[in-house]
């Protein structure tokens, strides 16, 4: 617990699935927030070692990978966070093991939070049909074509799916993730 956080999420484990090209702030800020609230986070990727972020207009910092996608099970986690950036979700949505993990997570009923371009992976997992969500504006047509209802709001919650638009929305995005986890049985 820090002076800025609480222990409200103590005992919760959060999976953050990302690869090279994730938007720096969309991985780091939710991770820091959730840890500050007492949760344990694991960065899960396609390879061990580290992955490199994208910081607005150029490559950013690297983040250590805790687990490789083939080593994890949905049962081990209480929530899933999907950072955006253009490169990261575009690569992840081409990997069957990632799409399968995300689809299973959505079907589990546990919170799944995607920001910016992150909903591309939800579309690939056929998880947006009949759902209301938001994203980076350029995904609006993709969401509609996948049977979703795109809304231009800071954060949209529909069932266990939490979506947000961009880095400026991260504080509200973080709070909705926390609310979903605190309300979890």
Q: Which letter, b or e, does each residue of 20-30 get, where b requires 16 or more Cβ atoms within 10 Å of its Cβ? A: bbbbbbbbbbb
Give which of 149, 109, 143 is closest to 126, Cα–Cα. 143
Residue 22: half-sphere exposure toward Cβ, Cα within 13 Å: 32
d(Cα 137, Cα 159) in Å, to the nearest integer? 22
Give 8's DSSP letter. T
Distance CA 126, CA 157 (A): 17
Tell me how far CA of residue 19 lies from CA of 48, 54, 106, 168, in angstroms: 10, 10, 20, 21
Q: How many CB atoms lie within 10 A of CB 129?
A: 10
Verify whether residue 163 is a known catalytic residue. no
CA angle, 128 then 184 then 19, to 5°: 50
Annotated catalytic residue within 34, 44, 98, 116? 116
Active site (catalytic) residues = 116
């Amino acid at each position: 617990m820090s002076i800025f956080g609480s222990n409200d999420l103590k005992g919760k484990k959060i999976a953050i699935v990302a690869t090279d090209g994730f938007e720096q702030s969309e991985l780091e800020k939710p991770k820091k927030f959730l840890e500050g609230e007492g949760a344990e986070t694991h960065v899960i990727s396609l390879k061990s070692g580290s992955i490199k972020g994208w910081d607005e207009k150029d490559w950013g910092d690297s983040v250590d990978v805790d687990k490789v996608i083939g080593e994890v099970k949905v049962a081990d986690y209480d929530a899933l966070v999907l950072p955006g950036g253009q490169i990261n979700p575009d690569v992840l949505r081409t990997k069957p093991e990632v799409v399968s993990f995300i689809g299973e997570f959505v079907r589990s009923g546990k919170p799944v939070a995607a920001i910016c371009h992150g909903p591309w992976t939800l579309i690939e997992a056929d998880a947006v049909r009949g759902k209301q969500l938001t994203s980076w504006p350029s995904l609006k047509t993709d969401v509609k074509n996948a049977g979703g209802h795109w809304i231009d709001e800071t954060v949209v919650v529909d069932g266990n799916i939490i979506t947000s638009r961009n880095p400026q929305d991260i504080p509200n995005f973080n709070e909705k993730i926390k609310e979903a986890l605190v309300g979890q049985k």
